[in-house]
Amino acid sequence: MAQVAVQPQEQPFETTGDELLVVDNVTKYFPITRGIIFQKQIGAVKAVDGVSFAVREGETLGVVGESGCGKSTMARCVMRLLEPTSGRIVFRNRDITKLSRAQMRPIRREMMMVFQDPYASLNARKRVGFIVAEALEVHKLGTPQEVKRRVQELLEVVGLNPEHYNRFPHEFSGGQRQRIGVARALAVNPKLIVCDEPVSALDVSVQAQILNLLKDLQRDFGLTYVFIAHDLNVVRHISDRVMVMYLGKAVELATRDQLYIEPKHPYTGALLSAVPIPDPELGRARKQVVLEGDVPSPINPPSACRFHPRCPRFVQGHCDVEEPLLGPIGARGHVGACHYPLERWPISDEDFRRPKPAPAVAAAEPAD
């Protein structure tokens, strides 16, 4: 099956040089092999396929998308927990894509991760004090007394009792465990914290506690977050800018208000209209745009625009032939990848299905 080659993408945003993290056209393909002795590659899962974005210091970039869109793989590539197949990751103006493990080690202090599952991400056989202190010990930060004091301080910062130092993870509830995960990430004073679905396993009331905590910590310690979630409400609450991913590609990237008030990509529009609104009157009055079908396989993604088989605005002969590149749509700083972006929002179901070609600014985008 012929694959559409990955076009070298122009950076769809200006970088000023003081970004904390720049991800430049990163791809991650997982090979699919056949055979036991002579393994030959028969294909690849294109989990992340050319994603570029930049994160400024002190901001929160939200990443949303359905399961299987590559958001977690992207996060692991950023952290160098996975080796990207191609592309560049620049952290504090230093290209870290090709650094060796030893070279990476001091940098790992500055980027930490909070994982989704608070049950699986804490070692059940270690005490909380050890779990939180481990990073401090690895980086040789402080004497044992100092480490202990620091850990107790951290436990307090995340809203746990410092006396919990000697307990095991199973003695805590899901929300408290996620607090331990946050304390562990904070231990070495990182610049960047990548949160991979940190609240999706929690109940709403506990989820609110963790979200408030993350916001408070950002204010107090000047943290920068990359916040991955599938819940659009949560992402909107915490993010300054939001990136929407679909099948390994970024389809739209904008400030929070631009994206939620005036989404341009039909996929973003469909996602937004699918979110249940906890208000019976508003929720039932609005017109939903319901997508049909499922996310296609990333092994053999649809040609050109990957969203075209599910897109209500699909135009035959254009969307399935020519791939839309990520380029400016609408207001400044708002980029999207669509030939027929939404004209306004909210939009009726009929208008949604009646695409108009993109205005000149989006059509001319590869040139600049």
For the record, the structure tokens of 335 come out as 């980029």
Q: Residues for the chain: how many in total?
A: 368
For the record, the structure tokens of 203 come out as 């109940």
> With binding defined as CB under 8 A, does residue 269 bind other proteins?
no
CA proximity to 189, closest of 247, 150, 235: 150
Among residues 35 and 280, whose Cβ is nearest to other proteins? 280
For the record, the structure tokens of 22 come out as 């720049």
User: Could you tell me if 127 and 165 are in contact, meaning their C-beta atoms sit under 8 angstroms apart?
Assistant: yes
Among residues 127 and 237, whose Cβ is nearest to other proteins? 237
Q: Which of 103, 233, 300, 348 binds other proteins (CB under 8 A)?
A: 233
> With binding defined as CB under 8 A, does residue 163 bind other proteins?
no
> With binding defined as CB under 8 A, does residue 275 bind other proteins?
yes
Q: Which of 44, 47, 226, 291 binds other proteins (CB under 8 A)?
A: 291
133 in helix, strand or coil?
Answer: helix
Sign of CA dihedral 200, 203, 207, 208: positive
Name the segment binding other proteins (CB under 8 A); options: 30-38, 183-191, 207-215, 337-345. 207-215
Q: Which of 260, 307, 314, 340 binds other proteins (CB under 8 A)?
A: 260
Among residues 52 and 207, whose Cβ is nearest to other proteins? 207
> With binding defined as CB under 8 A, does residue 239 bind other proteins?
no
CA proximity to 247, closest of 198, 315, 293, 202: 293
Name the segment binding other proteins (CB under 8 A); options: 41-49, 149-157, 228-236, 318-326. 228-236
Tell me how far, at minimum, the Cβ of 97 lies from other proteins, in Å.
31
CA distance 114 to 183: 9
CA distance 13 to 59: 16
Tell me how far, at minimum, the Cβ of 206 lies from other proteins, in Å.
8
Q: Which of 106, 144, 283, 357 binds other proteins (CB under 8 A)?
A: 283
Name the segment binding other proteins (CB under 8 A); options: 6-14, 16-24, 184-192, 288-296. 288-296
> With binding defined as CB under 8 A, does residue 116 bind other proteins?
no
CA distance 26 to 52: 7
> With binding defined as CB under 8 A, does residue 66 bind other proteins?
yes
CA proximity to 57, closest of 22, 100, 27, 81: 22
Name the segment binding other proteins (CB under 8 A); options: 13-21, 80-88, 103-111, 205-213. 205-213
Query: x/- site string to other proteins, residues 295 to 324, per CB under 8 A?
Result: x-----------------------------
> With binding defined as CB under 8 A, does residue 170 bind other proteins?
no
> With binding defined as CB under 8 A, does residue 284 bind other proteins?
yes
Tell me how far, at minimum, the Cβ of 147 lies from other proteins, in Å.
29
Q: How far is CA 208 from the centre of its chain?
A: 20
Among residues 109 and 215, whose Cβ is nearest to other proteins? 215
Tell me how far, at minimum, the Cβ of 29 lies from other proteins, in Å.
22
> With binding defined as CB under 8 A, does residue 18 bind other proteins?
no
> With binding defined as CB under 8 A, does residue 211 bind other proteins?
yes
Alpha helices in the chain (DSSP H): 71-78, 101-108, 128-138, 144-157, 174-186, 204-221, 232-238, 256-261, 266-274, 280-285, 349-352, 360-363
User: Could you tell me if 228 and 238 are in contact, meaning their C-beta atoms sit under 8 angstroms apart?
Assistant: no
| Cis peptide, bond prior to residue 8, ω within 30 of zero | no
Q: What strand order describes the sheet that includes 111-114?
A: 111-114, 192-196, 224-228, 60-64, 241-246, 249-255, 335-336, 327-328
Tell me how far, at minimum, the Cβ of 267 lies from other proteins, in Å.
9
Place of tokens 């408030």: 212
Kindly list the residues in this chain that would bind other proteins in the complex (CB under 8 A): 66-67, 173, 175-176, 203-209, 211-212, 215, 230-234, 236-238, 260, 270-284, 288, 290-292, 294-295
